[in-house]
Amino acid sequence: NAGVMQNPRHLVRRRGQEARLRCSPMKGHSHVYWYRQLPEEGLKFMVYLQKENIIDESGMPKERFSAEFPKEGPSILRIQQVVRGDSAAYFCASLAGPSSYEQYFGPGTRLTVT
Amino acid sequence: DQQVKQNSPSLSVQEGRISILNCDYTNSMFDYFLWYKKYPAEGPTFLISISSIKDKNEDGRFTVFLNKSAKHLSLHIVPSQPGDSAVYFCAASGRGIQGAQKLVFGQGTRLTINP
């Protein structure tokens, strides 16, 4: 998937624990998007970040979810106090810049909350 | 509010024939459309796209058609091959906050190519 890396690929958490999902965009890409896919559904936008800035978080649940893209290191999607309904596949996509349209996706992190 | 719809959850096509996947959208602010292919346990892979100023874009076996007046697009794959069996997602993009180009996805169509 064009060099976007996500880890871990699978994550199991008990209810109430924290989940941290990491995404390293393609080399040279400074725009990161996070999407969530529930079973049998399409992907839903969560948040758009540039380095050190959250640009659009209109798809993020208001509580327990946060995202960051620091100057150094990967983008991180954090889910606090996970619940069963958070079980889903979380995909990260990167974009070269604002004039581009094609987003390139990572392999995803499959979160299972038990 | 489902702004992008793929009304066929599944489609089965004979190898060598044409596969046609359909997608409808409701938001006239969308200005770019993309098709992604997804295998199980993998991320979506970009296939082909089209700008709203065009009505057709072709890349090898893949052609995307856009009918703006009907708010409809379709992906044609010809000839279909067994490796084309996957879930296909239609996605639409429009400039949002500070140019954010978040994609709005359809629910997907599972394409099966039969030998």
Contact status of A98 with chain B (Cβ, < 8 Å): yes
Whether residue B65 is predicted with pLDDT greater than 90 in this model: the reply is yes
d(CA B92, CA B71): 11
**Inter-chain contacts counted by CB atoms under 8 A, chains A and B:** 77
Q: Shortest CB distance from A102 goes to which of B46, B96, B99?
A: B46
Indicate the pLDDT class of residue B77, thresholds 50, 70 and 90.
very high
| Backbone torsions φ then ψ of B84, nearest 5 degrees | -80, -10
Weakest-pLDDT range from A45-54, A90-99, A105-114, B68-77:
A90-99
Distances (CA, A) of B64 to A12, A15, B42, B50, B73: 39, 44, 23, 7, 7
Measured between CA atoms, the residue of chain A closest to residue B110 is A40
Q: pLDDT for A28-75, tens place per residue?
A: 888 999 999 998 788 999 999 998 899 999 999 999 999 999 998 999
d(CA B71, CA B26): 7
DSSP-derived letter for residue B18 is -
Site from A103, A104, A109 to mutate, B interface, most B CB atoms within 10 angstroms: A103
